[in-house]
Chains A and B, each alone.
Chain A
Amino acid sequence: MTNLTAIIANMPQRPIRVLIAKPGLDGHDRGAKVLARGLRDEGFEVVYTGLRQTPEMVVSAALQEDVDVVGLSILSGAHMTLLPRIVAGLRAEGLDDVLVTAGGIIPDDDIPALTEAGVNRIFGPGTTIRQVADYIRENVARREDG
């Protein structure tokens, strides 16, 4: 039986806000859209900015939207240039508690350098949406309530 008192007492929690962006020049965003849709179904508020984003656009969107997570999809091979620039831009704006994740086609050999640059997690091909959602829920910085 539903405990009505518990429902009344517990206001719904703030949804986690995620920015999904595709930096760089690749013109294929089906994967990013599928992920955005999947995260929506996981209860996240997903800000989708679409293709061909410069690092400045990603940083500006993350700042204005006050997201908890920035998810970057990249297939073009430019990840070693773009991802560190985005992380640096976020930190320069004081967005220190934003979780940065990336997915797409990123060779395993590049992961240590990207982690060093401040990317929190790289998701390779075959990752399920549930895995991404669980990772976000476990690692997102919980803000003080009030």
Chain B
Amino acid sequence: MTEAEPGGPDPARTRGEDLAERTRGGERRALARLLTEVEDRSRAAESALRILYPLAGAAHLVGVTGAPGAGKSTLVAALVGEARKAGRAVAVLAIDPSSPITGGAILGDRVRMQAYAGDSDVFIRSMASRGHVGGLATSTVAAAAVLDAAGFPLVFIETVGTGQSEVEVAAIADTTLVVQAPEMGDEVQAIKAGLLEVADIVVVNKADRPGADRAASHLRSMLTVGAQHDRAMCDRPRPKRPEVLLASGATGQGIPEVLASLDRHEAKRRAAGSGEGADGTRLARAEAQVWGILSERLRGRVREPERATETEAILRAVADHELDPYAAADRLLEAFTRR
């Protein structure tokens, strides 16, 4: 990372500001380049986000999650097509896992989404998780804010294929859509804690397959009952009562209904406003972002050359079991306040 010459213009900052302006102007190449900077968490990205973040907030961020092979990409592709019929611009962030061993990744979600080449109102970007666990990449929230500021009113965030508990997407999306395939479990699966609990909408995909109706009715009976119980537990966090829809990304069956359901959910969130009693999703998203940056900044300061020797000594003491990790963290924190 090159530091700015004292007194001279900071090239990273200038580049970031330039990319932000061109992104706002609708230049797709600049948007793509800026997303790369955001993924690399560069200083250029930081200065671009200072410009773009205040301009974001209008888009509906839809998280799409579910097990590998449930049909997330196909469903998203179908929803993009449906939104385009209504003339709405759409962006997609599709996350696939990075190898924990080599850092490489296969980003294969575009395979299902290639019908929109040449349509400048569709922008699809693949992201590798780059060591982040939870179904997203570290920079997903920032990337979504860039797409939002670039003027896309609808942004789909497709997570890596998830297991039972990768619920992070629910904290960053306005609406969380969980994709299930038929034959993926019985009623007991539907009442387990985790992924299904954070769903605003559950889509039983591959509705053309045998058993899809039964899967949907299982899910409905287990997820949508209990309104009376909700009222009785008013002093405790209440579970969501997701709508369960049958659809097929491959045939297009049920897709208009899914998009309509997403729109209804967004309208409800908007009507609630941002005051007390509003859905806390956006506050949770803000918190996740700021905490993420805070811990990154702290780690960055630990890495500073003038500190590195002290940091290394502390880490080594923990490695040798001479110091416990809590005391080590406290000691590093003290070092910051000393300065």
Contact = CB atoms under 8 A, between A and B. Distances in A.
Contacts of B98: 15, 45
Interface in A125-146: 144-146
A45 B126 CA distance: 10
Nearest to B102: A43
Interface in B287-339: 302-303, 305, 308-309, 311-312, 315-316
A45 B105 contact: yes
Interface in A29-82: 36-37, 39-50, 53-54, 56-57, 59-61, 63-66
A53 B2 CA distance: 40
B15 A146 contact: yes
B62 to A, nearest CB: 19
Interface stretch (B35-43, B196-204, B234-242, B261-269): B35-43
Interface in B28-86: 28-29, 32-33, 35-36, 39-40, 42-44
B152 interface: no
B107 A146 contact: no
A65 B125 contact: yes
Contacts of A64: 28, 32, 123-125
Interface residues of B, number: 47
Contacts of A45: 98, 104-105, 107, 128
A14 B39 CA distance: 9
Given A56-B118, A66-B36, A15 B106 contact: no
Contacts of A65: 32, 107, 110, 125-126
Interface in B97-138: 98-99, 102-108, 110-111, 114, 116-118, 123-126, 128, 130
For chain A, give the interface size range: 35 or more
B280 interface: no
A107 interface: no
B85 to A, nearest CB: 20
A66 B118 contact: no
Give the secondary structure class of A's interface.
mixed
A49 B312 contact: no
A42 B312 CA distance: 30
B102 A42 contact: yes
A34 B193 CA distance: 38
B141 to A, nearest CB: 19
A49 B105 contact: no
A126 B302 CA distance: 48
Given A41-B99, A41-B104, A49 B308 contact: no
A37 B108 CA distance: 11
B104 A39 contact: yes
Contact of A48 (B33, B106, B128): B106
Given A57-B114, A65-B125, A65-B126, A144 B11 contact: yes
Contact of B106 (A46, A66, A144): A46
A61 B305 CA distance: 40
A15 B99 contact: no
B111 A42 contact: no
A146 B43 CA distance: 6
B298 to A, nearest CB: 13
Contacts of B42: 145-146
Nearest 9 CB-CB pairs, A to B? A146-B12, A40-B104, A60-B117, A57-B117, A50-B111, A66-B32, A43-B102, A47-B107, A66-B36
Given A42-B102, A61-B114, A61-B117, 8 more contacts: A8-B302, A15-B130, A40-B102, A57-B114, A64-B125, A146-B2, A146-B11, A146-B44
25 contacts: A4-B312, A5-B309, A8-B308, A8-B311, A14-B36, A15-B98, A15-B104, A15-B128, A40-B105, A40-B106, A41-B99, A42-B102, A43-B104, A46-B106, A47-B110, A47-B126, A56-B118, A63-B29, A63-B32, A65-B107, A144-B11, A144-B15, A146-B15, A146-B16, A146-B42
